[in-house]
Structures are given as structure tokens and as C-alpha cells.
Structure 1
Amino acid sequence: MADTRPHDVTPQSGPRPPVRGPSLSARLMRASWRGLPPKRYDVGLEAGLAVPGADGGTLRADHYFPRADGDFPTLLIRSPYGRGLPWSPMFGILFAEQGFHVVLQSCRGTGGSDGRFDLWRNETADGLAAVTWLRGRPWFTGTLGTVGPSYLGYTQWALALDPPPELKAMVVQVGMHDPHAFYHRGGAFHLENALAVGAGMTNQHRGIVPFLKAVLRLRRGLDGIVSARPLRKAYESALGELPWLDGVMAHPDADDPYWRGAALAGAAEQAGIPTALIGGWHDALVDQTFEQYARLRAAGARTSLLVGPWTHTSALQQGWPEVFAESLAWLRAHLCDDPSGLRPTGVRVHVGGADTWRDLDDWPQSPDPAPAPWYAAPDDSLTSRPPAQPAPLTSFRHDPDAPTPSVGGLLLSRTAGPRDNTALEARDDVRTFTGPPLTEPLDAVGPVSARVRLAVDTGHADAFVRLCDVDGQGRSTNVCDGITRVATAPGTPTEVTVVMSPIAHRFAPGHRVRLQISGGAHPRYASNPGTGVPDTEAATVTPAHITLYTGTSLNLPGGTPAPER
């Protein structure tokens, strides 16, 4: 068999990095994980390799490899978060142990790579340049895969937009393909997540200590930043100048030329690359994961979907054994011709409320009955009976200077996920409509939406809508939610559809289904100023008086009707 231990016949500037083992800290982190498969090979490392970028600058990369003779496929992982912890043990060591060459490369302007980081503009060209470099490595067999989470998912879609022939498989873990939707979905600016990304993109590639210091600075200054008027550039007190974040805040419209080329949905429609998708029900990018799956399926691509009870970060922590096993099985099937680890069905989802897993042939389930509306009634109940005629239900005042706070949900922080909403729902700017106690389990698996009929005296407001599970003790826990910006004639009733994130959830006997409606969730979303001025630019605000009308309804998947009271 061929000797695959690294040697480089291409001259590089300066001395060639020595071959060594992974760092002690990386090996200690790897040793701390449980539930992972035993290693097959010892691992070697070439650190700090100089890889030419598309502009001719040097992009730094680390090469992990099995210390064994033989031909092994290659995984390319392109990241703006550095090449140290946790990426070195999670991807470099673990996958090399299983028989892969792993090239972990720092994106332009990060981790010692030349140039300036831009949120999306360089990833396709730099990814293709990395593949060109790989073709010159004597250990590269021409069989290439990609894997990685979050922005590492975006760099995969960027490469797939113009896929090289060597690219045979992808694994996108809690990953994005559309930056605009991440920051502005529903018309509101996703403020808290934007600040978290700002801290990560600016500091994580510099090492754990600088990153933790930046996170602490952001936490200390968060209240002042999120309440500033105007909001734009207020982050500079904690994060410094970030041209890409300023651009994101200054261009809320998806049709703005600023966003041209940012969304990579077209990559999923090419159907040429087998792609495994992994998401979490409480992940800030779960909606993009489901959109990726729908596009891949529509294009006839080979794909699989795993969605667990995870947030963006817990998918790579508590969920890592499942995520790694799913990723490894897919890569072995499509890069090593070993399908033995694949699931028999294309979709596996965790069912919240039941703490079980369910295997499905597709998502959503087919055939999927049309949802049966649960109507909001004047007595704050949910009923299957439609209203006889339009009439006011209730009203409340939303004050941007004292905005409705956010509780849990799709965040990047540790406060993400299901949380007790009881105190939130006691506020006078939140309204709830609740079904009767269930006499049997109610399984809701699929897309969720709400139709909200409302009038706003200023003509400008947000409709934040949340589905909650109320247990026998009255504790209300969020299951999913969504937000939509409303701009209409002042005081004139209008109707908006608020798309919430999909769910797989069991409401147990004795529990109740609740629809929660408010004018925002701050600082998860920037508060609507009530003036029509973009939320990041407004210097003044106007409170909005919001009236809800009959016809407001919750649409649960599976055609499940509301039980009669």
C-alpha cells in the first residue's frame, strides 16, 4: 500500500512545519468525551501549513492524519474561529483517528491567515483555492468531504456552489446558508445573536482567553448596548469596530445589493453532493436546516436529517456523541464505500415532551393533513369553533423603552432553549390563549404557524408569537416561536401569518396548549421603535397600542383539532 505519511514536494516559504502529535490540551479534551467510538489510528499533525488563498495571500491550515500506511479520504474544514480548542480535538483528532486526513483551515483574516475577514464574500473562491492546493498533496486521493457546524456549514455550502469534482459528501451541523435570514428573519433585527456572533468572529480565533474576555466585556455592557438610541454602532464599546457587523445592521432589506451573493440556497438545489444535515430544535439556525433539507429533497439529492433536543452549543456538547456518530456514518458511507452505519430511514427527530426518538421516511410526514386551527377566544381560551364575526379580543401597550423581555428560545447563548414563561406571561404587555387540559397525548410533528389579526394605533409593531406547553402545575414552557414585522395603516385591522419553527413535541395528558402573543422579545430582537424607522437607526421611539381580533389562530401540524371545552 502507498505510504500516506505526509511529505510535501511543493516548496513553501520558510521552514516546513515539523510533524508532531496534537497538543496536550487537545488530547485531554478528547479524552474527556464519553460515548465515542474507539480510535482506529494514532494521529499526527502538521501545523501552520501555508495554503494559497484565491487572492494569493496565505491561509494557514493544520493537517491531521492517521499514522499508518494506506489511502485515506480527506476532510476539508474551513473556519473563522481558529484551529485550537475545541476544533482541534473535535474534528482534527477524532476524524483522523477514524481514518481521514483532516485539513482545518482558518478563513481569510482569522487565525493567522492573511487578509481581512468578510462575513461571506470570499468563501467560495478561497474554498476552491484550498482544493487546488490539495490536488498537489501526495497523500490526497481525490476523495474529498466536508464537515462542520455553524459558519463552518456556510463554508461548505460556499464550496458546493461551484463544487469541485473531488467533493463527494458534506455534513452540515447546525449550519447556515443565508446570513440575511440569520440576522433579519421576520423583519426584526436579531440583536442578541448578532452581538454573540460579533464576539465570536472577532475573538475566538485568537484563543480561549481573548474570547472569554470579550464575552465578559459584552455581558458587562449588554444593558447599555441593547438599549442605546440609535442602536447601530453601540456594540463598539464592547467589541470595537466591526465593518461587517455595521454592514449587517445598516442593510435590513434582503433585496439590498449589499446582500447580493450572500444566500447560498442554490447550492442545495444542485443535487450532486450527498449531504447529511444535523440540527437542534432550539438551535438558532434550525429554520435554515429545515430549508436546506426541503431544497435538497426537491432537487432529488441524497440527504439525511437528524434533529435533536439541542441548542446551537449543546449539539456540540451534550449532543456530541450522537452528532459525531451521525457524521462519521455519513462520511464513511460516501467516502469509504461503507454504508453499514447509516440509518434505515432518512429522518430521525427527537420528540420533546416524550424524550423519545422517532424515525420518519421524510419531513414533514407524508401525507401531511392540513392543520386544523385553534382559535383564540374572548375568554382567553383556544377552541376549534371559528368566530361568528370579527370582534376585538383584547389589547395591550408595547413600549420600546420598556420592551417585553425575551425568555429562552433560539439563541446562541446558554440561556437558549425551553424556559419557564410564567413570569413573562404575567406582564401586562403579553397575552395568552390556552386550551383545556388534554385527556390523551397530543403529538404535533411538523410546521407550526399562527394567523394574527390585529390593529396598531401607530401602524408599526412586531407580532411575536410563541407556542407553549403548560403542565399540570401551571408552568408554561416555550416549544417554538416566530416574529413578523407589521406595517399597516394606523388603527386599521390587518392579518399577518407568523411562521414559527417546526416541532416534534408531545403534549402529555393533563397538559394544555398555549398561544402567547406580544409585541417583541428583547434583546433577542431589537425592539420595534414604532415609527417606521429601521430599528438599528431610530433615535426616538413611540409606544404602540395593539388590539387583537377574533380570527387569530394557532395552526398545529397533523390536522390536530383543538379539544372542545
Structure 2
Amino acid sequence: MTTATHHASAKKPPLLSRAMRRTFRGLPPKLHDVGYEPGLAVPDADGSTLLTDHYFPLSDGDFPTLLVRSPYGRGFPWSPLYGVLFAEQGFHVVLQSCRGTGGSGGEPDLWRHEAADGQATVAWLRRQSWFSGALGTIGASYLGYVQWALAQDPPPELRAMVVHVGLHDMHGYFYPAGTFALENALASTAGLTHQHRGLPSFVRAVLRLQRHARKIARTLPLGEAYVPGLGGRVPFLDAAMAHPDPQDPHWAGVDMGPAADRLTVPTSLITGWMDVALGQTLQQYARLRRAGCDTALLIGPWTHNSALQEGWPDVFAESLAWLRAHLCDDPSGLRGTRVRVHLGGRGIRHDPWRSLADWPPVATGHRWYLDGGGTLSTRAPETAAPPLSFRYDPADPTPSIGGPLLSPKAGHQDNAVLEARDDVLTFTTAPLTEPVRILGPVSAELRVGTDTGRADVFVRLCDVDDRGRSTNVCDGLRRLDPTDGPDATAGPDATAGPDATAGSDVTDHADTTRTAPAAVTVTMSSTAYHFPAGHRIRLQVSGGAHPRFARNTGTGEPLPTATRLRPAEVTLHHPSALVLPVAEEEEAADG
């Protein structure tokens, strides 16, 4: 097809995709009008058809190609965000529905065929008259996973990758702290099973899940309770719940992260401090750096969803500069440093964005010790000081508030209701006499014992302002198990006790023996945050964050079939400490 014929046969992109451009402020002016070829038939690795839409500049000349592969359909929001906006800037954009979704042929078997189908699509691109041989990939969330799948064996044409809030490890998504991420798993399953069917179907699925969410969270067994909320059984969700062990053969070949260990394709990584994929993004950044790959990292004040909403002007500008540099030989838009992060908190006198040479930057691990009086102090308490304890009851699980979620409830929230509960311990500094700025991973080093050997420990860093409002900064969870460390032989079999009827919350009160305290480190997410003078630093310690994480039933029964609940008393011994990465002098200066 000649360029003139190609332009003459082009359609206009969908009206919604064209209109959505007006909702964003700060985008660069368009350089080209856009043509559109919908519903192209691209053969997958097994010969079935992958439906594909092609967006392109209505101008003569050679333009590089961006490949976007999605299990969520090819409409909103991918058509406007990727198809129209990047075609306007001088790129062919190939937007494709993954196998078994959005009208594409084959059976949907998520994460099993993405590498082969990506290679088949590149083979198809080579046969197109408009393909210049310069290829980039771009996409968010699962659209990042398919990029890492292609990068397992990167085709020679692949010259740049841009991964927005992206995943590479599906087990790590379902079990980010060794505990099932219930709320996010349900939300993403609704998206994966319905969004590719169109916006009305997706909206109905979201509303149905919202109606059933509370009952799902409170009913046993979980493997049956979720079904009404998702409109039926979902095989990949059943399998994920049934296989919690990352070494289980079920997960073999699913983790695409090792591609970064040997990658040479320049790769831009973009995430947010409250993104569900923050940890996986930072893992990939570290791998790319060790491999010597050209890489850049942008971390904004965003959740998984808001990065593509209010964060989009920054995300788009960063992505466009990277793609032009590596596909168009135009590095003029690149920033001067490898890393750019948004510094959270109040009292920042100038621009909250910070340019850094690397991540994490140089920082000193400062310890604040948990005191028996509920304070955080730089001086360790006496080891003979009495321990502190709380009772976690899975029949009334400690709720989750804010944090990295896929819902509008994500992000920084007021923690007052949470901290008023008896099953949440808080430890707080005196008002700070000078600012404290942290950049890097946060953790808590705890000495913990339980009366059952089975419990979760959830810790959360908060900023308490001068009015007493406590706002979450970052957090983490650690699952304790009677087979770990000194607890291996302590306590009786935690699965003994009477059965409960399916669908009820019956608590098992079997006698138990207290376990010896074990030294555990609870890793929280990384952050960049400024605590101003006059504010206080607070650490929460509790037994869970439900329904963000599935509650620990305390019995050791398998997640999908557990029907019994057993409370646990969790005891903190001294010394236990919060460890904060306090920035060095040169990093602490306002920009």
C-alpha cells in the first residue's frame, strides 16, 4: 500500500478518543492529524486472529512504530492515551487485543502466551509497508507485563520500552507480601474478565463487585464467597488462590522479571508512591542497572490509576522524550539525571520534584525505638522492659485504610478510625524540632511472639501534623508461621479445633502455647517524604489490613477452603525499631 493510498483509506479515530484530548492540560500541541485502521487481523503464534487497530500520522514520511498489547480491549482508555496522542506526535501505534480478549481468537490463558504472541505480532509488522524497522513498546499494568514477555527474547527491531505502573511477576501481584492481596485481586479480575467486552460491561461488573464486596470479605470459604461478586467462577483466580507458593509448578515461567537481568533495550520505568506495582518497578530498575542497561525512573505522587489520569501530562512528557530519543535520534527532551521523584509531605519550600543520580540515593538508616509508653525514641529502651501486646481477631479483622489500592480509596488517608482500635498499637515521636527527610526503603525491625505461631504483622509509617491528623506514608506486611525460625517447634498444631459451617465466621478457641519471640524485619515500600518541624513520626503495628490483604484465619487452612477462625495474641518485645533512610545533607536541601 502506498502512503497516499494508505492515507486515503484511513478513517478518523473514535470520537471519544479524539474528544478525550481536551480533558488534559499541559500536553504538547499535536504535530499530525491521525488516521485509523480498525480491526486488522494479525495471526498469533498458533494461527488464530489477534484483532489490532492501527493509528498513524496523516503525513508523508517514515515514522517509528509503538506496539501496545492489551487484555482490556482496544477502546477507552488505551485508544486516546496511546493510539491518538502518540500518533499525533509522529508514531504508528499498533493497539492489539491479547488472545481470547476484545474479539481476538484463541482461548484466554492469561500470561501464558504473551511472549509468543508478541513475537508473532512483530513478524507481522515486518511485512507492513509502513513499518520502518524502528520499534518501541509502551503500556501500563498488564500492558507492561506483555512488554517484559517480549523482552525475554527482544527482536532486533526493538529499540525502546516504556513501562507505566507495570507488572512482571503475577505471583508477586497476587501475593505481594506473602499474603493474598484480596481487594486488588478482585478488582483486577473484574477488569480482566469484563473490560475487554466494552465500557458498559465493565461498569456493570464494577458495580456488581461493589455490591458484594463486604459480604465477600466477611464470608468463608473465600473460594466460594467471591463468585457472586464476579458473576461466576474465574479459573485463573481460583488457581492463584490455590497456589500460594511461588515455587509451585503453577507459576513456572510466569515471572518475566529476569528479562531485565540481560536486557540491552533502553527502558523507561514510571510508577507512583501509592502504585500497586511500585515494588515490582523498583525491582526491575535495580536489575536493569546491574545489567548496565540504559534506563530511567520516574516516581510521582500517584496511585496505579491516577498515574494515567491527573499524572498523565508528566507521564506522557517523560514517555515521549524517551521514545523520541531512542526511536527518532532526538535526545533533546531527555532530563539530565537518571531518576526523578516527587517528594511528599508538607513544608517543602520549592518544587517537590527531585532529580537524583540513582535510586535509592545515599541515606543513613536511623532507628527510632518502640517504647512501652507508645513513643518512638532514638534511645533504645531497657530490654527488660515489659512487652506490649494486642489481640487480632479474624472475626473482626483490622481494617485497611488507603495505601496502594486499585480503588478510589487508595492513597494518603486519615488514619484516625484505624488508630482508635484496640488491635492497633501506635508509637509516636515528640514534635520534630527540625525537618526529617527520608528517601529509600523503610522497614521495621521487630521482636515478635504469638500465642499460636500464626499471625500477620502489618506496620505503617504515618505523618502526624500539628492538628493531630495521622496520614499514611508507606506500609508493609509480614506473615509469621510456626515453622519459621525459633517458632518452628513452639505451640501445638494450629489446625486443631472444631469445624465451622461453610459461610460462617466461627472462632476456634483451642488452647495454645505462646511462641518464643523471633526477630523479624517487616519491609515497607520505598518512599520520598519530608516530615516538617512540628510534625510527629508515627508507626502503627497491627495484625492485618483487611480486605486489602485476606485475613489470616489463624488455622493454617488453605486460603480458598478455610472455614475456621482463630484469634492470635501478638506480643512485641524490646528492642524493636523503625528504620528510616534519612537523606544525606546534599539530598536534603530544597531544590
Equivalents in 1 of 2:443, 2:112: separation in Å? Answer: 33
2:394 is the counterpart of 1:400: yes
1:97-121: CA deviation from partner (whole Å, max 9, x where unpaired): 0000000000011100012222211
Equivalents in 1 of 2:555, 2:415: separation in Å? Answer: 29
2:525 is the counterpart of 1:525: no
Equivalents in 1 of 2:381, 2:114: separation in Å? Answer: 52
2:428 is the counterpart of 1:434: yes
Asked if structure 1 preserves the Cα contact closer than 8 Å seen for 2:436 and 2:582, the reply is no
Equivalents in 1 of 2:540, 2:78: separation in Å? Answer: 39
The residue type equivalent to 1:510 in the other structure is: G
For the structure 1 residues 463 and 68, does the alpha-carbon distance in structure 2 shift closer, same or farther, using more than 3 Å as the test?
A: same
2:454 is the counterpart of 1:463: no
Q: Per-residue deviation at 1:391?
A: 4.3
Asked if structure 1 preserves the Cα contact closer than 8 Å seen for 2:136 and 2:327, the reply is yes
Stretch deviating more after TM superposition (393-402 or 34-43): 393-402
2:112 is the counterpart of 1:118: no
SS in 2 for 1:187: coil
The residue type equivalent to 1:108 in the other structure is: R
The residue type equivalent to 1:136 in the other structure is: R
2:72 is the counterpart of 1:81: yes
SS in 2 for 1:551: strand
1:304-342: CA deviation from partner (whole Å, max 9, x where unpaired): 000000001110000000000000000000000000000
Which residue number corresponds to residue 448 of structure 2?
454
SS in 2 for 1:556: strand
Which residue number corresponds to residue 377 of structure 2?
383
1:220-248: CA deviation from partner (whole Å, max 9, x where unpaired): 01111112211114221121221111111
Equivalents in 2 of 1:375, 1:534: separation in Å? Answer: 36
Stretch deviating more after TM superposition (371-380 or 37-46): 371-380
| Matches for 1:237-248 after TM superposition, within 5 Å | 237-239=228-230, 240-248=232-240
Which residue number corresponds to residue 564 of structure 2?
540
2:537 is the counterpart of 1:513: yes
Which residue number corresponds to residue 506 of structure 2?
none
2:326 is the counterpart of 1:334: yes
SS in 1 for 2:332: helix
Aligned equivalent of 1:263, options 231, 236, 255: 255
Q: Per-residue deviation at 1:26?
A: 1.4
Equivalents in 2 of 1:485, 1:144: separation in Å? Answer: 43
Equivalents in 2 of 1:285, 1:233: separation in Å? Answer: 28
Which residue number corresponds to residue 558 of structure 1?
582
2:496 is the counterpart of 1:502: no
Equivalents in 1 of 2:235, 2:554: separation in Å? Answer: 27
Asked if structure 1 preserves the Cα contact closer than 8 Å seen for 2:151 and 2:263, the reply is no
Which residue number corresponds to residue 314 of structure 2?
322
SS in 1 for 2:188: helix
Aligned equivalent of 1:343, options 335, 338, 354: 335
Which residue number corresponds to residue 90 of structure 1?
81
Stretch deviating more after TM superposition (60-69 or 483-492): 483-492
Which residue number corresponds to residue 563 of structure 1?
none
1:17-72: CA deviation from partner (whole Å, max 9, x where unpaired): 96301011211112222110000000000000000001111010000000011000
For the structure 1 residues 409 and 452, does the alpha-carbon distance in structure 2 shift closer, same or farther, using more than 3 Å as the test?
A: same
* RMSD after superposition: 1.6
Aligned equivalent of 1:180, options 165, 171, 187: 171
Asked if structure 2 preserves the Cα contact closer than 8 Å seen for 1:392 and 1:547, the reply is no
1:394-432: CA deviation from partner (whole Å, max 9, x where unpaired): 111111111000000011111000000011000000000
SS in 2 for 1:203: helix
SS in 2 for 1:478: strand
SS in 2 for 1:453: strand
Equivalents in 1 of 2:442, 2:4: separation in Å? Answer: 52
2:192 is the counterpart of 1:201: yes
2:361 is the counterpart of 1:365: yes
Stretch deviating more after TM superposition (529-538 or 377-386): 529-538
Q: Per-residue deviation at 1:80?
A: 0.5
For the structure 1 residues 141 and 233, does the alpha-carbon distance in structure 2 shift closer, same or farther, using more than 3 Å as the test?
A: farther
1:227-273: CA deviation from partner (whole Å, max 9, x where unpaired): 22111142211212211111111100000000011111111111310
SS in 1 for 2:565: coil
Equivalents in 1 of 2:5, 2:520: separation in Å? Answer: 59
| Matches for 1:125-144 after TM superposition, within 5 Å | 125-144=116-135
Equivalents in 1 of 2:14, 2:224: separation in Å? Answer: 39
Aligned equivalent of 1:483, options 473, 477, 480: 477
Stretch deviating more after TM superposition (551-560 or 75-84): 551-560
Equivalents in 2 of 1:301, 1:233: separation in Å? Answer: 46
The residue type equivalent to 1:373 in the other structure is: R
Structure 1: tracts of 5 or more residues without a match:
9-16, 561-565
Which residue number corresponds to residue 70 of structure 1?
61
The residue type equivalent to 1:357 in the other structure is: W
Asked if structure 1 preserves the Cα contact closer than 8 Å seen for 2:439 and 2:583, the reply is no
Q: Per-residue deviation at 1:459?
A: 0.8
The residue type equivalent to 1:446 in the other structure is: G
Equivalents in 2 of 1:92, 1:64: separation in Å? Answer: 6
Equivalents in 1 of 2:370, 2:39: separation in Å? Answer: 60
Equivalents in 2 of 1:452, 1:185: separation in Å? Answer: 20
Aligned equivalent of 2:300, options 289, 308, 315: 308
The residue type equivalent to 2:169 in the other structure is: D
Equivalents in 1 of 2:359, 2:384: separation in Å? Answer: 35
Q: Per-residue deviation at 1:7?
A: 4.9
For the structure 1 residues 4 and 304, does the alpha-carbon distance in structure 2 shift closer, same or farther, using more than 3 Å as the test?
A: farther
Which residue number corresponds to residue 37 of structure 1?
28
Which residue number corresponds to residue 250 of structure 1?
242
Aligned equivalent of 2:408, options 414, 429, 438: 414
Equivalents in 2 of 1:539, 1:6: separation in Å? Answer: 65
Equivalents in 1 of 2:252, 2:149: separation in Å? Answer: 14
1:435-462: CA deviation from partner (whole Å, max 9, x where unpaired): 1111111110111111121111111000
State TM-score, norm by structure 2: 0.91
The residue type equivalent to 2:426 in the other structure is: T
SS in 2 for 1:495: strand
Which residue number corresponds to residue 497 of structure 2?
none
Which residue number corresponds to residue 487 of structure 2?
none
Identical columns (%): 61
The residue type equivalent to 2:74 in the other structure is: R
Asked if structure 2 preserves the Cα contact closer than 8 Å seen for 1:307 and 1:350, the reply is yes
Asked if structure 2 preserves the Cα contact closer than 8 Å seen for 1:233 and 1:246, the reply is no
Asked if structure 2 preserves the Cα contact closer than 8 Å seen for 1:390 and 1:551, the reply is no
Which residue number corresponds to residue 508 of structure 2?
none
Asked if structure 2 preserves the Cα contact closer than 8 Å seen for 1:5 and 1:68, the reply is no
Q: Per-residue deviation at 1:6?
A: 6.9
Equivalents in 1 of 2:172, 2:575: separation in Å? Answer: 28
Equivalents in 2 of 1:330, 1:474: separation in Å? Answer: 43
Count of residue pairs brought into register by the alignment: 550
Equivalents in 2 of 1:266, 1:212: separation in Å? Answer: 36
Equivalents in 1 of 2:424, 2:281: separation in Å? Answer: 30
The residue type equivalent to 1:247 in the other structure is: A
The residue type equivalent to 1:539 in the other structure is: T
